[in-house]
Amino acid sequence: MSPDVLVCGAGVGGLAAARALGGLGLDVLVVDKQPKVRPIAKGEVLQPGALRLLRSWGVEKRLDAQGAVRLGRLVVRDPRGTALMSLDYGQLPAPDQWLLAHDHTAILAALAESLGPGVELRRGVRAEAPLRDGSGRITGLRLAEGGRVYEQRAPLVVAADGISSRLRSWAGIEAKRADYPHRLVSFDIGDADAAARADDFSAYVTDRGLRLLYPLPGGRLRLYLQAGPDELRGVTARGGLADWAARALSQVPALEPLTASLLAHLGSRQTLPVGRLLSPRLSGRGLALVGEAAYAVHPMAAQGMNTAITSAGALAERLSGHLERTGGMSAAAVDAALRDYHERQLPLLTQAARTSGNAARMVTDLSWRGRVLGRRAVRHTGANPRLLLTVTHNMSGLGPRPLTPLDRLQQLGLLPDPRAHRVPTAPAGRPQPM
């Protein structure tokens, strides 16, 4: 196979890029260093902006058929469960009125099943080095697979190899990862009764940090608990994890009834470092960045996987326009499309990074200043219908509506907002699950 596109990385970003580019009639080869998909707690909530693309690819229908859970709201709550700020997706235009939750492995499988006949996926293949032409343009990769090393050339290479992307470094693009001063501890809880009652994506604000809860298919719940960077050092399933987990829920009366279910599923624990990254460039000559190679944010905002999908769609759209004009995958046409992709997508990712960062700080910052400002921002935003709709739209991925400096002051309650209740009438009724 001599592909038009070589995608390195078969996560959500890589598979979405392969689906979008394969949909243009291009031959695409996807390689991933992992021999099989690993079950991890990552990217389980899909926003409306990403769902638009997944719907057009038939992926949303597959996920629905596999029991995906539709959620109508993203809510910030106090420890007793009282809603402080509720983003109601029912206020958005139909059909973009819900979030969709499913396991990360199921989302990857649905994307893989949607790949067309011109797309080949190979696992257990490692990228060893870039290939370049005489001008220094990236023209492929040296790959290692099953004990052999070979060269694979393609007019376009897509870096979807994660936040520590080697391809990004090979292209000379320097992007610095910044780690949050905490970790998230994830649990997969089987509690059908509690899952049936959990009909939204709820972030609980506590003096010890974030507690995040939402339902998954099969009567399960995903629970994230914020922990200090060294808080769980030496803590194991047999050595104190039960006490730590029980204390974490005892501080949140609304979640305390889940304690028995949590203790029964301690073996599902995953401890995840949390970082953020925004690459200053999304492309180089012959190379595009998608997914966490380009952009990574805190999971609380449910943005990372969604921007990976929409960025993949934007890359295909830019390339399609140039191919229509030139009729082929020439280096000049590809590089022109890559420049357009960078210029169009970077401002959108910058806005999404700002929105995500602000949302994460409001509920995870444990400093005195952070707690005061975060609680004020949550409280005043939650009481302002106009700001709520703006924030909901930004979180949904349907297109940026940047908050102005005046909006920021009104979010903190430092200025009154005479327009607070000037919002469009919400559509009648939310579409029912399929």
CA angle 141, 147, 151 (to 5 degrees): 20
Residue 434 has what pLDDT? 33
Residue 354 has what pLDDT? 87
Residue 29 has what pLDDT? 98
Residue 307 has what pLDDT? 93
For 65, half-sphere exposure in the C-beta direction (CA atoms, 13 angstrom radius) is 8
DSSP letter (8 states) at residue 74: E
CB 291, CB 311: distance < 8 Å: yes
In the chain, what's the furthest Cα-to-Cα distance? Answer: 68
Q: Which tokens is 171 given?
A: 């292209």
Residue 361 has what pLDDT? 86
CB 178, CB 277: distance < 8 Å: yes
Length of the chain: 434
CB 150, CB 122: distance < 8 Å: no
Model pLDDT for residues 38-67, shown as the tens digit of each residue: 888 887 999 999 999 999 999 999 999 999
Of the candidates 305, 294, 341, the one whose C-alpha atom is nearest the C-alpha of residue 160 is 294
Q: Which tokens is 382 given?
A: 């939650």
Element at 334 (helix H, strand E): helix 331-364
Q: Which tokens is 31 given?
A: 């390689």
What secondary structure does DSSP assign to 146-193, as a single string?
TTEEEEEE-SEEEE-S-TT-HHHHHTT-----EEEEEEEEEEEEE-HH
d(CA 227, CA 213): 15
Over its C-alpha atoms, the chain yields an Rg (Å, rounded) of 22
Residues of the chain where predicted confidence (pLDDT) is lower than 70: 1, 236-239, 424-434
Model pLDDT for residues 340-358, shown as the tens digit of each residue: 999 999 999 999 898 888 8
d(CA 371, CA 405): 21
d(CA 16, CA 337): 18
| Residue 269 to residues 186, 243, 247, Cα–Cα distance (Å) | 5, 14, 16
d(CA 168, CA 164): 8
What secondary structure does DSSP assign to 191-212, as a single string?
-HHHHHH--SEEEEEETTEEEE
Element at 332 (helix H, strand E): helix 331-364
Residue 240 has what pLDDT? 87
Of the candidates 74, 68, 57, the one whose C-alpha atom is nearest the C-alpha of residue 104 is 68
- Residue indicated by tokens 């939310």: 430
